[in-house]
Amino acid sequence: MSAAPPPVALDALRRKVRALEAQDRVTRAVLPFGVQPLDVRLPGGGLALGALHEVAGGAEEALYGATAAKFAAGILARAQGEVLWCRRQADLFAPSLAQAGLPPERVIFADAGDEAGVLAAMEEGLRWPGLAGVVGEVGKLSMTASRRLQLAAEKGGQIAIAVRRWRRIADAADLGQPTAAQTRWRVSPLPSSPLPPSVPGVGRPRWFLELLRCKAGEAFDIELEACDAKGHLRLPAPLAHRPASPDAGQGRAVA
Amino acid sequence: MQGKAAPSPETPIVMVGRIGRRRAIAHMNLAAAKTGLRVGQAVAHATAMAPGLVLHDLDAEGDRAALRRLALWAQRLYSPTVAPDPPDGLVIDATGCAHLFGGEEKMLVDIRRRLAKAGYAAMLAIADSWGGAHALARYSRRALFVVPPGGLGVQLKDLPVAALRLPPETVQALAKPGFDTIGELEATAKGPLAHRFGMEPIRRLDQAHGREREPIEPVFAPQTPRAAKIFAEPIGAPETLARYLTELTVELCATLEALTLGAKTIDAWFYRVDNRVESARIGLSAPARDARRLAKLLCEKLEKVDPGFGVDKMVLAAPGAEPLAYSQDDVLSNLGGGKRATDLSGLIDTLRVRLGAEAVYRLASAESDIPERSVRKTPAAETPVAFSWPVDWPRPTRFFPRPEPIETVALLPDQPPASFTWRGVRRRVRRADGPERVFGEWWKADAELARSRDYFQVEDEGGERYWIYRDGDGEDAATGSQRWFMAGVFG
């Protein structure tokens, strides 16, 4: 067994590969999540612009893709410009997109008859620099199709997000297949953030976010609070260990 | 005569035309028909039969012009290929157009409704052939007739020979040996028929049954920017069609530019050697005359155009073009370093051409508290008004258009269920938010007067969050069935 190669040579090789990969790209910019533990583990310190990203829901969410759609909406809400949302099933509820920071004036919907139509519409959208990004809801995503989208995104510099969603939970195994996407995420719902014991109701939703695959990066998972009205994620603050807020006990009712 | 000057519908009115040197009835209204008059009768005769008859001289030129205007109106709304069918009809090539209105019957209903609004009574028929639809619209005694493909022969059988668009002399000549209906004519050997009455009845018979093609020569508004090309040899290869289509688009755009107009619609007609006209239409969200982009959009439509044995004439027109000033945007964006274009009308048009005009839209808020009515589609090219949905109430990411019934173990009227079963899986409710009470909109339907719904956001043990509602307030039976439904899934 030969000795491990010196890190200098490895670094030079990495730079070379990166230069080769970046030939066609218009941008190497990233969109940070604004969540420290998330951003430090992503290459470049955020979600790459000009790239294809896959998002799927965990367990039953593979059928509904509700968390995945909200995660995608939260990302694009923080980008500049309009969004093209391509889909086959028209069950996305627009008020919820507005609550994630994507108001009606920022989203154009395109209904396609089949998945090929969704992919074609996504690719068309990626040619228009006025868009912040393109979302497509698809089940199958072949290597060829994802490669085309990845190349189109590289040329245009927008974010392309494939929200993976299947008709049967068994089909969700398809997520293991390789694609040309830059990252692959899985978002599963967790019990919401606890409220004080005397307060009934549902707290801020929480997600279990897994980065399953990442080019030039490593997989990890993290527990987060779901995106707010501006699309920002947040680290959950464990209620028990939270420092008392400065004005605790001084709240006054105004009638 | 319009408005108050118009006579009441009960007044018998006839339009007087000339047949040879005789003044005779050319058209009449329903009231006149009831008095026993018939078209072609001498005026002297008619006035004797029906006292109080109102006579008007026929203005054939005016009628033709009005029919032409009507044809242009129909062309704008329904199909690129529309022609006047004088003296009293329009013919529309509805191939590939009816689905835009939700089917052939709905399209006819729409035409009738719009014509009625403009003050026209209309009889409508849709069939496999021009001749067939012509006959059924005029002689079937049904205001609205949709003949399924292939069903024309049966429907035509009992109609009179006059329905075949034959000159009156021929109809009379045919009546002498006893040919009264189309069915009788159809059953006769064609040889002797042609020998005796000429080819005309056979040609019309074939046209009515769709055995002989009959092109519809579309109308053009006089000022419509147009470009046409006639080919010495018919062309049919897709690349050739695309090439000439691009050439014509460039020509059309040059015309538009000279007029400082931009196209809102572009119609293309392909005249086939076998006497058929194929057509295609693209709609644009904003006026445009960018030849490269428009040619690309038109070429995408080519796959739906069947050139048959070849196309020997191609026509492009931009009806309803709108003023479009010169701009330097194109130059700037081509320089690369300049400001990035944010105009998305090109993308919207491309997607509309590819997926259909209704498939590309925005979802804007509508003023309703009922969730399924709170969202409406608006054109993608327009920015919706700023009125927005409430931000404080939870709204699910996936909303089921048809709520699914769920089995619940429910307790108190103001409480969410303790557990529920949906799609065969029982879920225990760990946390819940609600109720959000939504009342029926009594101003829309009487049945909604007392109705209400209670929406709850519930979270199960695994953390899945659902939006469920109870039809009713949980106490009063008048408010709803008190059953529970699944409305959506939160992200």
In terms of domains, do B402 and B302 share one?
Answer: no
Choosing from B149, B173, B208, the residue where a domain stops is B208
Partner-chain residue, chosen from A130, A191, A200, that has the shortest CB–CB distance to B342: A130
In terms of domains, do B177 and B247 share one?
Answer: no
Question: Could you tell me the CATH number of the domain that includes residue B302?
Answer: 3.30.1490.100
Q: Would you place residue A239 in the very low, low, confident or very high pLDDT band (cuts 50, 70, 90)?
A: very low
In terms of domains, do B160 and B177 share one?
Answer: yes
Both tokens of B128, joined, read 């496999």
In this prediction, residue B473 carries a pLDDT of: 84
- For residue B463, the chain A residue with the least C-alpha distance is A191
Q: What is the ipTM of this complex?
A: 0.83
Distance to chain B for A69, nearest Cα, Å: 7
Partner-chain residue, chosen from B380, B397, B465, that has the shortest CB–CB distance to A92: B397
- To the nearest 5 percent, what fractions of chain A are helix, strand and coil? 35, 25, 45
Partner-chain residue, chosen from A95, A201, A226, that has the shortest CB–CB distance to B395: A95
Whether the pLDDT of residue A145 is over 60: the answer is: yes
In this prediction, residue B409 carries a pLDDT of: 84
Q: Would you place residue A247 in the very low, low, confident or very high pLDDT band (cuts 50, 70, 90)?
A: very low
Could B341 and A129 be called an inter-chain contact, meaning their C-beta atoms sit closer than 8 Å?
A: yes
Which residues have a Cβ under 8 Å from the Cβ of B478 and sit 6 or more positions away?
Answer: B450
Min mean pLDDT across B31-35, B252-256, B287-291 is at B31-35
In whole angstroms, give the CA distance from residue A181 to residue A52: 5
Residue B350: list chain A partners with CB under 8 A.
124
User: Which is more confident, A118 or B340?
Assistant: A118
Q: Would you place residue A246 in the very low, low, confident or very high pLDDT band (cuts 50, 70, 90)?
A: very low
In this prediction, residue B337 carries a pLDDT of: 39
**DSSP 8-state assignment for residue A159:** E
Q: Would you place residue A75 in the very low, low, confident or very high pLDDT band (cuts 50, 70, 90)?
A: very high
B389 assigned to some structural domain = no
In terms of domains, do B97 and B230 share one?
Answer: no
In this prediction, residue A19 carries a pLDDT of: 74
Min mean pLDDT across B189-198, B213-222, B261-270 is at B213-222
In whole angstroms, give the CA distance from residue A161 to residue A153: 10
**Which of B352, B282, B353, B266 lies closest to B315, judged by CA?**
B266
Beta strands in chain A (DSSP E): 30-31, 47-48, 51-57, 82-87, 107-111, 131-138, 159-164, 183-190, 206-214, 220-225
CB distance A205 to B465 below 8 Å: yes
In terms of domains, do B14 and B119 share one?
Answer: no
Tell me which H or E stretch contains B198. Answer: none
Could B375 and A71 be called an inter-chain contact, meaning their C-beta atoms sit closer than 8 Å?
A: no
**DSSP 8-state assignment for residue B187:** H
In terms of domains, do B429 and B318 share one?
Answer: no
B385 assigned to some structural domain = no
Q: Would you place residue B338 in the very low, low, confident or very high pLDDT band (cuts 50, 70, 90)?
A: very low
In whole angstroms, give the CA distance from residue B391 to residue B247: 53
In whole angstroms, give the CA distance from residue A54 to residue A62: 13
A128 in contact with B at a CB cutoff of 8 Å? yes
Beta strands in B33-184 (DSSP E): 54-57, 82-85, 89-92, 124-126, 144-146
Could A191 and B430 be called an inter-chain contact, meaning their C-beta atoms sit closer than 8 Å?
A: yes
In terms of domains, do B109 and B202 share one?
Answer: yes
Both tokens of B67, joined, read 């029919």
In whole angstroms, give the CA distance from residue A48 to residue B15: 76
Residue B346: list chain A partners with CB under 8 A.
128
Q: What average pLDDT does this structure show over B65-73?
A: 88
- Reported as a single tens digit per residue, the pLDDT across A203-236 is 889 999 999 999 888 899 999 999 888 889 888 8
Whether the pLDDT of residue B385 is over 90: the answer is: no
Sole residue written with tokens 């012009």: B65
In whole angstroms, give the CA distance from residue B426 to residue B337: 59
B286 assigned to some structural domain = yes
Distance to chain A for B201, nearest Cα, Å: 46
- Reported as a single tens digit per residue, the pLDDT across B409-453 is 877 777 888 899 998 899 999 889 878 888 888 888 888 888 889
Q: Which of B99, B347, B369 to mutate to test the interface with A (most CBs of A within 10 A)?
A: B347
A113 in contact with B at a CB cutoff of 8 Å? yes
DSSP B231-286: EEEEE--HHHHHHHHHHHHHHHHHHHHHTTEEEEEEEEEEEETTS-EEEEEEEEEE
Three-state SS at B1? coil
Q: Would you place residue A4 in the very low, low, confident or very high pLDDT band (cuts 50, 70, 90)?
A: low
Range of the domain at B478: 398-489
Whether the pLDDT of residue B250 is over 60: the answer is: yes
In terms of domains, do B111 and B185 share one?
Answer: yes
Both tokens of B175, joined, read 């009546």
In terms of domains, do B73 and B202 share one?
Answer: yes
Both tokens of A5, joined, read 């190669």
DSSP B330-383: HHHHHTSSSPPP---HHHHHHHHHHH-GGGEEEEEE-S-SSGGGSEEEEETTSP
Whether the pLDDT of residue A139 is over 50: the answer is: yes
Distance to chain A for B247, nearest Cα, Å: 24
Backbone angles phi, psi at B342, to 5 degrees: -110, 5
B357 assigned to some structural domain = no
In whole angstroms, give the CA distance from residue A53 to residue B8: 70
In this prediction, residue B335 carries a pLDDT of: 45
**To the nearest whole number, what is the mean pLDDT of chain B?**
85
Question: Could you tell me the CATH number of the domain that includes residue B9?
Answer: 3.40.1170.60
Residue B491: list chain A partners with CB under 8 A.
66-71, 96, 100, 189, 205, 226
Q: What average pLDDT does this structure show over B188-196?
A: 86
Choosing from B323, B358, B375, the residue where a domain stops is B323
Could A66 and B431 be called an inter-chain contact, meaning their C-beta atoms sit closer than 8 Å?
A: no
Interface of B with A in 440-479 (CB under 8 A): 457-459, 461-465
First vs last Cα of chain B: how many Å apart? 63
In this prediction, residue A78 carries a pLDDT of: 92
In whole angstroms, give the CA distance from residue B432 to residue B460: 9
In whole angstroms, give the CA distance from residue A140 to residue B31: 66
**To the nearest whole number, what is the mean pLDDT of chain A?**
85
Whether the pLDDT of residue B329 is over 60: the answer is: no
Instruction: Count how many domains chain B has.
Output: 4
CB distance B205 to B164 below 8 Å: yes
- Reported as a single tens digit per residue, the pLDDT across A78-109 is 998 899 999 998 889 999 999 998 988 899 99
Which residues have a Cβ under 8 Å from the Cβ of A61 and sit 6 or more positions away?
Answer: A67, A68, A187, A188, A189, B464
- Reported as a single tens digit per residue, the pLDDT across A156-199 is 889 999 999 998 888 888 888 899 999 999 999 999 888 888 88
In terms of domains, do B473 and B410 share one?
Answer: yes
Query: What number does CATH give the domain A49-193+202-236?
Result: 3.40.50.300
Whether the pLDDT of residue A29 is over 70: the answer is: yes
B24 assigned to some structural domain = yes
Residue A103: list chain B partners with CB under 8 A.
388
A92 in contact with B at a CB cutoff of 8 Å? yes
Partner-chain residue, chosen from A91, A131, A189, that has the shortest CB–CB distance to B399: A91
Whether the pLDDT of residue B123 is over 60: the answer is: yes
B174 assigned to some structural domain = yes
Sole residue written with tokens 């109870």: B470
CB distance A38 to A233 below 8 Å: yes
Whether the pLDDT of residue B364 is over 50: the answer is: yes
B365 in contact with A at a CB cutoff of 8 Å? yes
Min mean pLDDT across B13-22, B100-109, B331-340, B363-372 is at B331-340
In this prediction, residue B342 carries a pLDDT of: 60
Whether the pLDDT of residue A66 is over 70: the answer is: yes
In this prediction, residue B194 carries a pLDDT of: 87
A68 in contact with B at a CB cutoff of 8 Å? yes
Tell me which H or E stretch contains B326. Answer: none
Q: Would you place residue A138 in the very low, low, confident or very high pLDDT band (cuts 50, 70, 90)?
A: very high
Backbone angles phi, psi at B361, to 5 degrees: -160, 175
A167 in contact with B at a CB cutoff of 8 Å? no
**Which of B188, B314, B181, B195 lies closest to B247, judged by CA?**
B314
Q: Would you place residue B220 in the very low, low, confident or very high pLDDT band (cuts 50, 70, 90)?
A: confident
Percent of chain B with pLDDT over 70: 95
Q: What is the Cα A227 distance to its own chain's centre? A: 11
In terms of domains, do B175 and B67 share one?
Answer: yes
CB distance B128 to B150 below 8 Å: yes
In whole angstroms, give the CA distance from residue A64 to residue B466: 11
Residue A55: list chain B partners with CB under 8 A.
none
Whether the pLDDT of residue B115 is over 70: the answer is: yes
In this prediction, residue A25 carries a pLDDT of: 62
- Reported as a single tens digit per residue, the pLDDT across B53-67 is 888 888 888 888 888
- For residue A192, the chain B residue with the least C-alpha distance is B463
In terms of domains, do B119 and B187 share one?
Answer: yes
